[in-house]
Amino acid sequence: MTETAARDGLPVGPSRIAVIGAGYVGVPTAAVLADAGHDVVVAERDADRRTALAAGRSPMMEEGLEELLARTLASGRLRFVATAAEAVAGARIVVLCVATPTGPDGRADLSDVDVAVGEIAAHLASGAVVVTKSTVPVGTTERVARLLARPDVHVASNPEFLREGHAVADARHPDRVVIGADDPAVADVVASLSRDSDAPQVITDPRTAELVKYAANAYLAMKLSFINSMAQLCDALGADVGVLARGIGLDPRIGPSFLTPGPGWGGSCLPKDVRALQSIAADAHVTVPLVDASRAVNDSQADYVAERCASLVTSGLDGAVVGVLGLTFKARTADRRDSPALAVVRALLARGARVRAFDPTVAPGCADADLAGIDLAGSADAAIEGARVVVVLTEWPEFARVAWGSHRPAAVLDTRGVVDVGAAAAARWRVAVLGRPGS
């Protein structure tokens, strides 16, 4: 299709690209590459997911993704197929975007990587470059090369830093591009995937590139656990964590982002990657106490929030109806994997509370196992009605517009700083905001 420029037998211009795995990383990555002019074929073994995507329907909530799918599918530059073997036939670049969930021992489970590599090995074109975007333990790029057993094929690491809900924008405008390749010509090929971006490039060996991803997520987790600890301290001392965050964040060495306290950090990446980094360090006989402490602080945050709720109900939580607003791990996603909101719900249920919850992405009839024990409401008003205490756990913007005046006043604990405190107080609600004075 294109004028692929060959240098050292390697592709540097628009290319035939295979993406293995149509998940949170694979779909936005593939769609953005197709939009940039590459000819992209995505392998997805789940038939329902594949059919939906081929019809332009996104299985995940991602701003701008369906519009991008519609455009790239119509252009013919994006296709979905069932097998990895089919996707890689004729591809010059193969991007592995399969899941690497936490295994039983805390290590990343590489089964899907191994299966994908096994499926593609015999079908790769000579000179193809296999790029790992999945978050994988240090040494995995070497392992992929070993398993492929194709000396005529190149391997490289190119970790992604996409945020859920912003994946299209992040894939299009990354703040940096990290490439791990032993051969500079191979690094150039991987860099050609981001040729529309002027983001700084960090070109290094595969092991360092793999570790950069874990270090980035562990650092973010550490920053969040730090501010959550400060929120607890502010609660105890009558200080204001919002002002504290601004006061420290204006120091450019600290920076203002990732300093909003909450019910804890969750989602599909931070918890998994922190656990995996602990295992990587343990295997290397290195202690990482800051990483351990970040996780310990996070593990205790749900209990802290439940205790704060209990402190707002004079007769205790046993048998009390608690209205919960928000179940996803953050707003603008339907993802509840490792959601701190669910950890708080479990802590409330353990204290005998009756939990009635509303989340804009959860239908009242939903029977998913992670929602067991929760009475699901169809609106914020229905979750609040008659509750002894309401707790806001996800920062959905609509929670700023709750009509507190239409309910019998009780107490509300806002862990995300989204409630219109003036409106709630005017309606005679007792308002407590995590880390803020006056509650």
> 21 CB contacts (<8 Å, ≥6 apart)?
42, 43, 44, 96, 97, 98, 99, 112, 116, 134
Residue number, 93 or 224, with CB nearest to ligand UDX: 224
Q: Is 389 in the site for ligand UDX (CB under 6 A)?
A: no
Determine how β-strand 6-7 pairs with β-strand 10-11: antiparallel
d(CA 6, CA 373): 59
Structure-token match 């097998």, residue found? 83
d(CA 247, CA 255): 10
Q: Confirm whether 269 is a catalytic residue.
A: yes
Part of the chain binding ligand UDX (CB under 6 A), chosen from 50-58, 59-67, 259-267, 278-286: 259-267
d(CA 292, CA 23): 29
Q: Is 266 in the site for ligand UDX (CB under 6 A)?
A: yes
In the complex, the smallest distance separating the C-beta of residue 396 from ligand UDX, rounded to whole angstroms, is 11
Residue number, 182 or 303, with CB nearest to ligand UDX: 303
Phi/psi at 411 (5° precision)? -115, 150
- Cβ count near 358 (within 10 Å): 23
The residue type at 40: V
Single residue of 16, 77, 330, 336 touching ligand UDX by CB under 6 A = 330
For residue 430, the cross-strand partners are 411
Q: Which helix (H) or strand (E) holds 213?
A: helix 206-237
d(CA 377, CA 162): 31
> Dmax over Cα atoms in the chain, in whole Å?
75
Residue number, 330 or 436, with CB nearest to ligand UDX: 330
> 80 CB contacts (<8 Å, ≥6 apart)?
22, 41, 42, 43, 44, 50, 53, 54
In the complex, the smallest distance separating the C-beta of residue 221 from ligand UDX, rounded to whole angstroms, is 8
**Rg of the Cα trace of the chain?**
24
Shortest Cβ contact with ligand UDX: which residue? Answer: 269
Catalytic residue of the set 234, 269, 309, 366: 269
Residue number, 119 or 160, with CB nearest to ligand UDX: 160
Q: Give just the sign of the alpha carbon dihedral 334, 260, 134, 197.
A: positive
In the complex, the smallest distance separating the C-beta of residue 388 from ligand UDX, rounded to whole angstroms, is 26
Q: Is 163 in the site for ligand UDX (CB under 6 A)?
A: yes
In the complex, the smallest distance separating the C-beta of residue 280 from ligand UDX, rounded to whole angstroms, is 17
Q: Is 161 in the site for ligand UDX (CB under 6 A)?
A: yes
Three-state DSSP class for residue 344: helix
In the complex, the smallest distance separating the C-beta of residue 129 from ligand UDX, rounded to whole angstroms, is 22
Single residue of 260, 298, 301, 439 touching ligand UDX by CB under 6 A = 260
Identify the burial level of 393 via C-beta atoms within 10 angstroms of its C-beta, where 0-12 means exposed, 13-18 middle and 19 or more buried.
Answer: buried
Part of the chain binding ligand UDX (CB under 6 A), chosen from 253-261, 279-287, 301-309, 403-411: 253-261
- Write out the DSSP string of 163-177: PTTSHHHHHHS-S-E
Residue number, 259 or 389, with CB nearest to ligand UDX: 259
Single residue of 62, 119, 164, 235 touching ligand UDX by CB under 6 A = 164
Single residue of 80, 226, 304, 329 touching ligand UDX by CB under 6 A = 329
Percentages (nearest 5) of helix, strand, coil residues in the chain: 40, 15, 45
Single residue of 217, 229, 232, 278 touching ligand UDX by CB under 6 A = 217
Part of the chain binding ligand UDX (CB under 6 A), chosen from 106-114, 123-131, 157-165, 375-383: 157-165
Q: Is 295 in the site for ligand UDX (CB under 6 A)?
A: no
Determine how β-strand 16-20 pairs with β-strand 39-43: parallel
Single residue of 69, 144, 269, 280 touching ligand UDX by CB under 6 A = 269
Three-state DSSP class for residue 96: strand
Single residue of 189, 270, 389, 419 touching ligand UDX by CB under 6 A = 270
Q: Is 23 in the site for ligand UDX (CB under 6 A)?
A: no
In the complex, the smallest distance separating the C-beta of residue 168 from ligand UDX, rounded to whole angstroms, is 13
Cβ–Cβ under 8 Å, residues 115 and 154: no
Single residue of 206, 262, 360, 435 touching ligand UDX by CB under 6 A = 262
Single residue of 4, 61, 64, 258 touching ligand UDX by CB under 6 A = 258
Q: Is 265 in the site for ligand UDX (CB under 6 A)?
A: yes
Single residue of 33, 40, 222, 224 touching ligand UDX by CB under 6 A = 224
Q: Is 219 in the site for ligand UDX (CB under 6 A)?
A: no
Closest CA to 363 of 378, 381, 380: 378
For residue 375, the cross-strand partners are 356
Residues near ligand UDX, by CB under 6 A: 160-164, 217, 220, 224, 258-260, 262, 265-270, 329-330, 340
Q: Which residues are catalytic?
A: 269
